[in-house]
Amino acid sequence: AYGETIPISLTGGKPVVTGPVPDWVTVHDDEIVAKMGFVGEVRVTVDRVKVRKRFLGWANFVFDTRSPFFGKSAGEVFSLIISGPELKPGTSNLALAADNIWNNAQWQHGDVWTKLLQTIVMAFLGTLLGGIVAFPLAFFAARNITPSGLLSQLLKRFFDFMRSVDMLIWALFFTRAFGPGPLAGSAAIFFTEIGTLGKTYSEALENIDDKPREGVLSTGANGLLVQRYGVLPEVVPIFISQTLYQWESNTRGATIIGAVGAGGIGLKLWEAMRTNSNWANVFYMVLLTLFVVFVFDNISNFLRRRLSRTLHDYNRLQAARGLTL
């Protein structure tokens, strides 16, 4: 490094620099650290030599030291991938590079992205199942639709109970019941969303305009057809909008409950934080989580705006027909 060779020997069970120590080398009791500036660093201990090559400030971010692409410039890597000889017989250089990145031992890209996908699926599955269960229950909970006031009150108190137990508490409960993993996280979101979506759905139903329902009822239609043609066209866009918002929110929540053993990237994030020595990986996972939340927030906002315009256009069409929603 820097055109110099620094001899190191093992004396008394620890690494020792033989000769003068330059200013870019730091000697500790059990470790010698050679700082290479932006390029990276080398750490020498009794049992290993750790080489860290930086990529945009993060050491070994693309290829670790086990990879045949390690230490090569971007131009060399692209040249090998496009037209170079096979570095591993029987495997193309493109497949080898992808495998080396995915299985990077230091940054664990494959495991991190897999856990991130688990978090997204947990949020989607829990929200979807919660919405499916809350949808029919909301009709029985809405005062202006259910024929039984007692049933309405019982279901509303049920929704209140399900919402009052925090998602984190549900996650702890299901982690004990099913063991750590995505199943516990999905179940925690599912139970929470039954209460949340059940309440919002029933409130939306209680605030509908009764004129369309009365119009369908006057034709002699049965109760099911009244709900289908007199109620659903008005509330379905609202239901979808509320569900999308909850999915976006649960993507963030799934990261938190993962830290208590509910699977996903939250669990991996917590494991990295507990070591108190891998903060670069923690920062990497936090950035990925923020990026996913940002993407889902924009997708959800876009879909909700489209639904709002659809509902507005539907209302104008009905008004033109003399039936204002």
Residues 143-164 pLDDT 10s = 888 877 899 899 999 999 998 8
3-class DSSP state for residue 33? strand
Q: Where are the domains of the chain?
A: 1-59, 67-105, 109-320
Indicate the pLDDT class of residue 315, thresholds 50, 70 and 90. low
pLDDT digits (tens, 9 = 90+) for 75-112: 888 888 888 888 888 888 899 999 998 998 888 889 89
The helix (H) or strand (E) run that includes residue 245 is: helix 232-257
Give dist(CA 109, CA 91) in Å, integer.
21
- Please report the DSSP string for 40-59 in residue order: EEEEE-SS-EEEEEEETTEE
**Local confidence band at 324 (pLDDT 50, 70, 90 cut-offs):** very low
- Please give the distance of CA 124 from its chain centroid, rounded to a whole number: 10
> CA nearest 264: which of 185, 193, 179?
185
**CB distance 254 to 266 below 8 Å:** yes
Q: Which fold has domain 109-320?
A: MetI-like fold (1.10.3720)
Instruction: Determine contact, residues 274/259, Cβ cutoff 8 Å.
Output: no
Partner residues linked to 41 by β-bridges: 35, 52
Higher model confidence: residue 156 or residue 65? Answer: 156
Geometric angle at alpha carbon 146, from 145 and 150, rounded to 5°:
140
Instruction: List, in order, residues 6 or more apart from 280 with CB less than 8 Å away.
Output: 58, 59
